[in-house]
Structure 1
Amino acid sequence: MWGSLWPLLLSLLTATAVPGPSSRRPSRELDAIPRMTIPYEELSGTRHFKGRVQNYSTLLLEEDSGKLLVGARGALFSLNAEDIGDGTHKEIRWEASPEMQNKCHQKGKNNQTECFNHVRFLQRLNATHLYTCGTHAFQPLCAAIDSEAFTLPATFEEGKEKCPYDPARGFTGLIIDGGLYTATRYEFRSIPDIRRSRHPHSLRTEEAPMHWLNDAEFVFSVLVRESEASPVGDDDKVYYFFTERAAEEGSGSFAQSRSSHRVARVARVCKGDLGGKKILQKKWTSFLKARLICHIPQYETLRGVCHLDAGTSAHTRFYAAFTLTTQWKTLEASAICRYDLAEVQAVFSGPYMEYQDGVRRWSRYDGGVPEPRPGSCITDSLRSRGYNSSRDLPSMVLDFVKLHPLMARPLIPTRGRSLLLKHSVRYTHLTGIPVTTPSGHTYDLLFLGTADGWIHKAVVLGSGMHIIEETQVLREPQSVENLVISPTQHSLYIGTPSGVIQLPLSSCYRYRSCYDCILARDPYCGWDPSICGCVVTTTLANRCQMSRTALIQDIERGNRGCEGSRDTAPPPPLKTRSVLRGDDVLLPCDQPSNLARALWLLNGSMGLNDGQGGYRVGVDGLLVTDTQPEHSGNYGCYAEENGLRTLLALYSLTVRPVTPAPAPQAPAAPGSQLTPDVRLLYVLAIAALGGLCLILASSLLYMACLRGGPRGRRRKYSLGRAGRTGGSAVQLQTVSGQCPGEEDEGDDGEGPGGLEAPPPPPPAELTNGLVALPSRLRRMNGNSYMLLRQSDNGVAAGPCSFAEELSRILEKRKHTQLVEQLDESSV
């Protein structure tokens, strides 16, 4: 039922999306389908690490030392980034004592999940030490760890103002120039806060007369060094992404329940903020926040954020993953949106919102704005006017900041639209990396983790995204909790509840031809004509002296460049199939790409359409029903994708007529070809036998007369045929014939004694090609049927069970209407 509602829902999502350009794409184009599907059984090149603990959710990659540091429940690990499963790891056991766990349990917390030491923070503190914090059974602790010895110190620091109590609470943290910037709920049952600690000037957000944060759950934070090459002497800024309860007007249909309506936000603070001198003492003077909108404002929940830059802050962009859940709470989708830093800066330079006590709501502030502009960082212009730090700002500016933390204009995605909309998927984390191709173009490559253990690899193309592949990295469904990319190791590290997985950033070896390589549109993969192979572009320059521009790629269109390339992929072998007239035959052909359309040609020119002429075109084969002589010929299976056609399979099908067995001939008259002497001997022998029969008949007549009377006349003796002799003609049995050994009530072809003569099995060439099929589930446009098991020599394992079962199924499927394309749920 829900499958039929999805087109309507997607239309609703598109119709109610945020304002943007008038030329919007249809919703079906936003719901991108991964081109390749790699199940867990087909993974290659992956490495795994699993200790004796759980929840490997905190990852820190140090490229210089080649280490991947992992924080888990009750332990920390130092892994070899080149191969996390090589067994050379170091481990620190850091568990809460039994006494601490008992106290936690007495507070009403779960002693199976919460009353442990969950490591939530792990970052580089200085050249010699790491800094880590853990929940420690709802009594947070922090510690500085010697990175070389990888051991815990003798003493710990109080962590109640640096780390959350609850392991499930949203948290984000950074160490910037020795200062600790964290955002979460710190104390037990406290309000959310953005704080700076381990710094000469500790700061936090304001709580009175209004809370700057309203039940916030933090997702991500990042430092953007906007001071580098700034013409105005700007300051570096820290950006925070979170969700919180909405308070402003404009909640639409949720106006009556704004207390439960949550919205996505982005906030910023200046790194050089020192707080106010009299007003906003030890509080941020540069805190501002704005609404974050992706696709459907009323249904969005922020799940993950990553940032990318090309070396300068001017090119910084953010990618955010949202979950779109309707009020029915049964239809779920995910959306990906992009936000450029220039657009973020423009929102924070726009008008403010103001809370009006009379009507108890937020509305746009249209009054005068004091100078210097409230919430701005200290620049060269302000320094020239005597404002060298936030402590020098006037009281009226600080009062304005205190009452106007919210911006009036929301932050909408770049080009006013989402990049991707994916139904029935919940993204939990994302990360990305800019990849420069041999042609000099740079593309953003994203890796998206799902709630059921899959990784979607996608490239950003203009105003959309192309999902290159989806990979099942976990056999059992588990949530992807963290993702980290290593360009040096060409690896993606995945943190999950059960362990850490190392996955190659690309698998170009899967593409066997030039067209297959460019159809993937993977920035890491290019076709090398010199070796006729699809290679990783980042390693080719180090291995070969050839020009990188000689590689063939077409990321934008995905279908050009291979016209003059020599493709060494051999053509598929020609397979022969022979079938009796009137029977059904299946010609298998698997489509390697989820985006390809199956095309069947007869004798190289005639296209076959589903449902016409006895043809059924499925996602992995062609079913020819009620075969006739005109069905004989050469069949070619092609994959049509993005304007290209690739040959996948070739078959030669022969339909043979059903030939009746020759009628039995009457035996020749005895003696017709004998010599006269031999003929005389036969006549004498027949005469002697006739006389003997006459004597025997007379004796029987005499005995009958002796036993005359009523009793003797009750029983009659007759000499007749003991039975009917079966004919010599035998019908060949096919997949639609009667099973040998079963009775056929309407058949007179019984053998002696009334038993049916079992016909011999059909010849090997009349098996409809089914002997070549594997004994596994075959799909025809999403409608499945199961082939029965076959023995090694191709004969049915049970007496006629294969022929009888397949006959019944194929007969039933003659009248089954199949859809044109594969249902995505079966991909």
Structure 2
Amino acid sequence: MSAGPAHLLTTLFMAAAAMGYSSRRSATDLDATPRTTVTFDELSGVRRFKAHTLNYSTLLLEDDRGILYVGARGAIFALNSSDVADGSHHTIHWEASPEKRMDCLQKGKNNKTECFNHVRFLQRLNSTHLYACGTYAFHPLCAAIDANRFMLPSHFEEGKEKCPYDPARGYTGLIVDGGLYTATRYEFRSLPDIRRNLHQRPLKTEESPLHWLNDAEFVTSVLVRESKDSPVGDDDKIYYFFMERAGEETTSFFDKSQVARVARVARVCKSDVGGKKILQRKWTSFMKARLVCYIPYYEVLRSVCSLDGGGWASTVFYAAFTLSAQWRTMEASAVCRYNISAVQRAFEGPYMEYQDWARKWSRYDGAVPEPRPGSCITDHSRRKGYNSSQDLPNSVLDFVKLHPLMFEEVKPAGGEPLLVKKNVAYSQLAVDRVQALDGRSYDVLFMGTGDGWIHKAVVVNSGIHIVEEVQVFRDLQPVESLVISHNQRSLYVGAASGIVQVPLASCTKYASCYDCILARDPYCAWDGRACCTIATTDSTGLVQDIQSGNKGCRSSSGRGSLLWKNRTVLQGDDVLLPCDQRSNLARAVWLLNGSEVLGTGQDRLRVGVDGLLVTDTLPQHSGEYRCYGEEQGLRTLLATYSLTVLPELPRSPTAAPSPHAASQTTNDMKVAYISAIITLVVLCTVLSIVLLYVSCLEKRKGKYVLAEPRPASVELQTVSANCLRKGHREEEEEELTYPDGCLRIIPGEAPTAATSPVKELAVAVPPLPPPLPAELTNGVGALPNVLRKMNGNSYMLLQQQEEPLASPLYNASFTEELSKILEKRKHTQLVEKLDESSV
């Protein structure tokens, strides 16, 4: 863990301890690492469904019928739960009408995301019909759908009190014994509300003088059958999990001026029918309590799932939290487990009361009327003549009206979270309970992330072991829904782009006994030859170790013998010996000829995540290399190599030269360089004498004029291909234009290896000849005004001159002579295409 996130997580734990929530483990202990990582391209056994729509977020699985119902944007699908991609699905198209979409657009809503019919509710109504509700472009509608015919009815029901108008609004709903229990903000400007509709007496939460719900955003709802085998004749209860603005004192540990949002759990009784005079058509059993996990007041509740284990008394709730917006410097998630007994204790404890003068909630220490406010009707109440909520006395109903909040908080089991994961935002949870070979039951959590991954984890004692992380969507998108099928042994994942069916376990990917045991996957066990699924195999002879993950394998090595790979390199070269560590929890261990390689800093050996790097190899690096993955005290053989380092090849067949011979070789090279320089100087001297002689001859003929010597400014002017035009009168030549200009070549003073004993003589500029044919110029006239290097020794500045030059010494004989010279240079000095070395 990096220093920044680790420091922040430690700060969170310190704050929790200061407020009374101690933790026995540090933040780094709680931050579990997924053992294996499966990317999108490595997936196998996955099936996908996608149609011409979006937002496949509402799922209803009927496992016994083999159907997965999916509510999406403008459509409802019935998929084959054994294979969602087999093409046998049925579709109901339920689009919003053009009139409603136009009305939605006129309200200022987004015509690309909001002004559609988003199916938000889909449940079984009775043995023949489904019940569905959609936002219908901000005009909610509901419909009873014939499940056999799978068609929309001709008549729709008003959905304003059953379904939210906003597709992004938090919402939850259940159909329990014919009653529709929903919670959301229903209408455009309405307050959040928990309601019951359909075939039972309609009920809702109270709004005056106190709002029972303070800007609530609902997450989920859970039915707990507490009436089943109840010794006190209790009633079934519906639990609601949501976020809302807090009004308690000391609502923020870090900034008391801020109004914090807290996680809540509320409950109502299924048989509640409201009061007779007070709380008419209102809940008489509504109570709520704070739900804490990690740091109070700085948690955002994202998802809740439940598991009863065969009886309501063993019900547990798993909740996923993320950090609130105050912690913008990091991203982290926490998972907590709550027992139903902890929730009951909170609702049976002290109440809170709102103080108008302080504008906050504080503990109520006054008298509590009988029967206990907010409780369901039980056998004890019936014996006193209270057979329904309408029989309750006014004192009880008045107390309920003003005291909906409980003082005690619902704390996680063990007093701390099961998992705190940095750099992850969990968006959905699903849980399954698996009977392992050791006779214990283990809860397996499937945690969807905000970027399209699924973390599969097993709860072991008071912690979590993450078996694997799987990328189920290539494009980043939140996992919006998760449903587990025991019959199909599949996990169904709903998101914006489609539905994915993932196996609950892929045991065959574990290639050895060690791999199978170290995975600690309750679904998998080793049968002596392969890793298999427990549910499909006789448990006789199977090996599994969920508690420690290191017992049961007989062999001393995880993978027996592997083929040797030969590597041969020259001395001084670097070589990488790859070793793929499948497990993120394993430590790479290398053995060289049976002795362990310590790693970084040891004799040019570097152990990394990709393998062993041997730098600047020596003959003593030759030998046998074995790579192991060490995990939980077990070592799995992963790769074997035979490395041979050859001595450096000799530079000559003779023996290596002695120091005296090396010195002699150096002296010989110096003599060769000096000889070359002297030769160049002599050649330059001879060439200068020849040029001087030729100049003198031409002077006698009247063709050249020897001017006064100028050490640095004498210019030798010649002609470009398009410089001059015919003309003899000076006034006519002044009017002539030469678009290409004239090329003036100015030799510079270039440094040489040795100073020439003869100085260069400055020669007067010869008269400019007429333009030459294009084929004789070799492109010289097109050269740019840049400084070019010439053969690596001297420089020439090539620049264009705009004004024309004329000379009275111009005649045909000079033209013929110069043409011959240039024709000769064309075939000896110049190349067809000019570059830096040919000028």
- The answer for unaligned runs of 5 or more in structure 2 is 656-688, 694-839
Amino acid at match of 1:605: S
Q: 1:623: Cα distance to partner?
A: 0.7
Indicate how the Cα distance of structure 1 residues 88 and 106 shifts in structure 2: closer, same or farther if over 3 A, else same.
Answer: same
Checking the alignment, whether the CA contact within 8 Å between 1:452 and 1:480 is kept in structure 2 is: yes
Q: Deviations over 1:234-281 (max 9, x none)?
A: 11000000000111112134664343x211000000001111111111
Distance 2:265 2:223 in 1: 13
Distance 2:118 2:500 in 1: 20
Indicate how the Cα distance of structure 1 residues 537 and 74 shifts in structure 2: closer, same or farther if over 3 A, else same.
Answer: same
SS of corresponding position for 1:252: coil
- The share of aligned pairs that are identical, in percent, is 65
Checking the alignment, whether the CA contact within 8 Å between 1:577 and 1:654 is kept in structure 2 is: yes
Checking the alignment, whether the CA contact within 8 Å between 1:67 and 1:78 is kept in structure 2 is: yes
SS of corresponding position for 1:6: helix
Q: Deviations over 1:409-445 (max 9, x none)?
A: 1111100000001111111111111111233210000
Indicate how the Cα distance of structure 1 residues 576 and 20 shifts in structure 2: closer, same or farther if over 3 A, else same.
Answer: farther
Q: 1:335: Cα distance to partner?
A: 0.4
1:181 lines up with 2:172 in the alignment: no
1:244 lines up with 2:244 in the alignment: yes
SS of corresponding position for 2:297: helix
Q: 1:596: Cα distance to partner?
A: 0.5
State the match for 1:104 in structure 2. Answer: 104
SS of corresponding position for 1:214: coil
SS of corresponding position for 1:319: strand
Checking the alignment, whether the CA contact within 8 Å between 1:244 and 1:265 is kept in structure 2 is: yes
Checking the alignment, whether the CA contact within 8 Å between 2:13 and 2:22 is kept in structure 1 is: no
Distance 2:265 2:258 in 1: 19
Distance 1:438 1:467 in 2: 19
Distance 1:590 1:13 in 2: 36
Amino acid at match of 1:614: R
Q: 1:635: Cα distance to partner?
A: 1.0
Checking the alignment, whether the CA contact within 8 Å between 1:333 and 1:426 is kept in structure 2 is: yes
Q: 1:513: Cα distance to partner?
A: 0.7
Distance 1:326 1:115 in 2: 28
State the match for 2:134 in structure 1. Answer: 134
Q: 1:605: Cα distance to partner?
A: 2.2
Checking the alignment, whether the CA contact within 8 Å between 2:433 and 2:441 is kept in structure 1 is: yes
Distance 2:652 2:165 in 1: 91
Q: Spell out the pairing of 1:710-749 with structure 2 (5 A cutoff).
A: none
Distance 1:297 1:22 in 2: 12
State the match for 1:32 in structure 2. Answer: 32
Distance 2:564 2:403 in 1: 75
State the match for 1:573 in structure 2. Answer: 563
Amino acid at match of 2:350: P
Checking the alignment, whether the CA contact within 8 Å between 1:105 and 1:115 is kept in structure 2 is: yes
State the match for 2:778 in structure 1. Answer: none
SS of corresponding position for 1:99: helix
Alignment match of 1:623 (pick from 606, 609, 613): 613
Q: Spell out the pairing of 1:474-493 with structure 2 (5 A cutoff).
A: 474-493=473-492
State the match for 2:192 in structure 1. Answer: 192
Q: 1:659: Cα distance to partner?
A: 3.6
Query: More deviation in 571-580 or 274-283?
Result: 571-580
Q: 1:359: Cα distance to partner?
A: 1.5
Checking the alignment, whether the CA contact within 8 Å between 2:557 and 2:635 is kept in structure 1 is: no
State the match for 2:345 in structure 1. Answer: 346
Amino acid at match of 1:557: S
Amino acid at match of 1:509: T
Distance 1:53 1:445 in 2: 32
Q: 1:284: Cα distance to partner?
A: 0.4
Indicate how the Cα distance of structure 1 residues 333 and 122 shifts in structure 2: closer, same or farther if over 3 A, else same.
Answer: same
Q: Spell out the pairing of 1:587-598 with structure 2 (5 A cutoff).
A: 587-598=577-588
Checking the alignment, whether the CA contact within 8 Å between 1:325 and 1:331 is kept in structure 2 is: no
1:74 lines up with 2:65 in the alignment: no
Alignment match of 1:559 (pick from 544, 550, 562): 550
Distance 2:563 2:200 in 1: 75
Distance 1:303 1:3 in 2: 25
State the match for 2:705 in structure 1. Answer: none
Distance 2:419 2:254 in 1: 25
Indicate how the Cα distance of structure 1 residues 640 and 350 shifts in structure 2: closer, same or farther if over 3 A, else same.
Answer: same
Q: Spell out the pairing of 1:327-342 with structure 2 (5 A cutoff).
A: 327-342=326-341
SS of corresponding position for 1:289: strand
Checking the alignment, whether the CA contact within 8 Å between 1:20 and 1:415 is kept in structure 2 is: no
Distance 1:540 1:196 in 2: 46
Query: More deviation in 587-596 or 249-258?
Result: 249-258
Distance 2:32 2:325 in 1: 20
SS of corresponding position for 1:515: helix
Amino acid at match of 1:141: L
Checking the alignment, whether the CA contact within 8 Å between 2:173 and 2:181 is kept in structure 1 is: yes
State the match for 1:533 in structure 2. Answer: 530
Q: 1:22: Cα distance to partner?
A: 6.0
SS of corresponding position for 2:505: coil
Distance 2:20 2:544 in 1: 32
State the match for 2:63 in structure 1. Answer: 63
Checking the alignment, whether the CA contact within 8 Å between 2:15 and 2:253 is kept in structure 1 is: no
Checking the alignment, whether the CA contact within 8 Å between 1:20 and 1:416 is kept in structure 2 is: no
Q: Deviations over 1:282-306 (max 9, x none)?
A: 1000000000111012321000000
Q: Deviations over 1:570-615 (max 9, x none)?
A: 4221111122222211111110000111111111123332122111
Checking the alignment, whether the CA contact within 8 Å between 1:575 and 1:651 is kept in structure 2 is: yes
> Which has more radius of gyration?
2
Q: Spell out the pairing of 1:265-414 with structure 2 (5 A cutoff).
A: 265-325=264-324, 327-414=326-413
Q: 1:664: Cα distance to partner?
A: 6.8
The list of structure 1 runs, each at least 4 consecutive aligned residues, that deviate by more than 4 angstroms after superposition, is 18-23, 564-567
Indicate how the Cα distance of structure 1 residues 23 and 109 shifts in structure 2: closer, same or farther if over 3 A, else same.
Answer: closer
Query: More deviation in 18-27 or 203-212?
Result: 18-27
Q: Deviations over 1:300-357 (max 9, x none)?
A: 1000000011110011000000001462513110000000001110110000110011
Checking the alignment, whether the CA contact within 8 Å between 2:320 and 2:333 is kept in structure 1 is: yes
Distance 1:515 1:328 in 2: 41
Amino acid at match of 2:161: E
Checking the alignment, whether the CA contact within 8 Å between 1:303 and 1:428 is kept in structure 2 is: yes
Checking the alignment, whether the CA contact within 8 Å between 2:560 and 2:637 is kept in structure 1 is: no
Q: 1:168: Cα distance to partner?
A: 0.2
Indicate how the Cα distance of structure 1 residues 20 and 654 shifts in structure 2: closer, same or farther if over 3 A, else same.
Answer: farther
Query: More deviation in 655-664 or 218-227?
Result: 655-664
Amino acid at match of 2:177: D
State the match for 2:228 in structure 1. Answer: 228
Indicate how the Cα distance of structure 1 residues 325 and 361 shifts in structure 2: closer, same or farther if over 3 A, else same.
Answer: closer
SS of corresponding position for 1:277: coil
Checking the alignment, whether the CA contact within 8 Å between 2:494 and 2:500 is kept in structure 1 is: yes
State the match for 1:457 in structure 2. Answer: 456
Q: What TM-score do you get using the length of structure 2 for normalisation?
A: 0.77
Checking the alignment, whether the CA contact within 8 Å between 2:218 and 2:242 is kept in structure 1 is: yes
Q: 1:634: Cα distance to partner?
A: 1.0
Amino acid at match of 1:400: F
Distance 1:401 1:77 in 2: 43
Distance 2:634 2:244 in 1: 48
SS of corresponding position for 1:611: coil
Q: Deviations over 1:165-197 (max 9, x none)?
A: 000000000000000000001111210000000
Q: Deviations over 1:737-776 (max 9, x none)?
A: xxxxxxxxxxxxxxxxxxxxxxxxxxxxxxxxxxxxxxxx
State the match for 1:167 in structure 2. Answer: 167
Distance 2:12 2:248 in 1: 23
State the match for 2:622 in structure 1. Answer: 632
Distance 1:245 1:307 in 2: 25
Distance 2:651 2:182 in 1: 89
Checking the alignment, whether the CA contact within 8 Å between 2:23 and 2:416 is kept in structure 1 is: no
SS of corresponding position for 1:28: helix
1:586 lines up with 2:576 in the alignment: yes
Q: 1:663: Cα distance to partner?
A: 3.9
State the match for 1:115 in structure 2. Answer: 115
State the match for 2:836 in structure 1. Answer: none
Amino acid at match of 1:624: V
Checking the alignment, whether the CA contact within 8 Å between 2:433 and 2:442 is kept in structure 1 is: yes
State the match for 2:4 in structure 1. Answer: 5
